[in-house]
Amino acid sequence: MFYDKLLTISEAAKILGISTSTLRRLEKENGVVEGYGLKVIYTPGGQRRYLLDEIQQLYTSQGFSGKVGFGIRPALLIRDFTTAFFEPHSLFSISVNDQVSSTIELIEAAKESNIPIIFSKTVYKPEEKISKLWGSKFPSLEILKVESPWVTPLPEISKYNFDLINETPYITDFHHSSLNSFLNEREIDTLILAGVTTSGSIRANAVEGLQQGYKMIVAKEAVGDRNKSIHTSTLIDLNARYADVMNVNDILTYYKSINTKQF
């Protein structure tokens, strides 16, 4: 839908790294933001809106948003599809849309193409220094203890058998885990990310994965966050700097092109 591709002034200002007052000040009488070339669209109620596609194009024109593309040996990593992030009354709850159904599509197709799948979940380990540090910043993490029902995988996800399960107190799955060894043993060169949160572990995994030498792909419909503004701005920044943000359908088409015998 058209309005799904429009940003509020707060969302646009955050992505551009300027204040809302500056964005208003740069707006000329013709409705174009000086220096950025963005067209301002007014809603029937008089509120400013900005085209997401124009802001993405602005990144491209400034030398960002190149493509790393797909490799030849992919794996799928799913992070935090657990009760804590999908229960509406949870402090961790994201804005739920089609993340689960989109991820199931990715899982089913990955299994059909014999693509390795990793399931990961954040857990709080009081004996670990990282849990104490992270918990001092985000006290609610304490509910994510290993034995807690909050870290139970969603029923739709738990029915699958995964090639690797990673319970981690860390923000990325690469830190102090067997993930890198798992991927290297299988000569994986492309890591597709699904899960939550976009601005948290998905972003951290994308950055760390790139540093480890993997082609990082973020499945757009299969990731989520606590609000639209943070989610949208993070996807734009990830696509500009660290990963390719791809539609699930494009990833499924890529799956079909893989020679499954190579695994």
Lowest mean pLDDT among 56-70, 102-116, 242-256: 56-70
Contact between 163 and 116 (Cβ < 8 Å): yes
Instruction: Record the tokens describing residue 24, joined without a space.
Output: 């208003």
The C-alpha atoms of residue 28 and residue 252 are separated, in whole angstroms, by 44
Q: Is the domain 74-262 a CATH 3.40.50.850 member?
A: yes
Cα 190 to its chain centre, rounded Å, is 15
Tokens 């606590």 -> residue: 226
125-159 tens-digit pLDDT:
999 999 999 999 999 999 999 999 999 999 999 99
Mean pLDDT throughout 211-216? 97
32-82 tens-digit pLDDT:
999 888 999 998 888 999 988 888 778 766 666 578 999 999 999 999 999
156-170 tens-digit pLDDT:
999 999 999 999 999
Nearest to 166 by CA among 110, 217, 220, 116: 116
Residue 4's pLDDT is 57
Nearest to 144 by CA among 195, 72, 196, 92: 92
User: Domain-by-domain residue ranges, the chain?
Assistant: 2-61, 74-262
Mean pLDDT throughout 236-242? 88
pTM of the model as a whole? 0.83
Tell me the fold of 2-61: Multidrug-efflux Transporter Regulator; Chain: A; Domain 2 (1.10.1660)
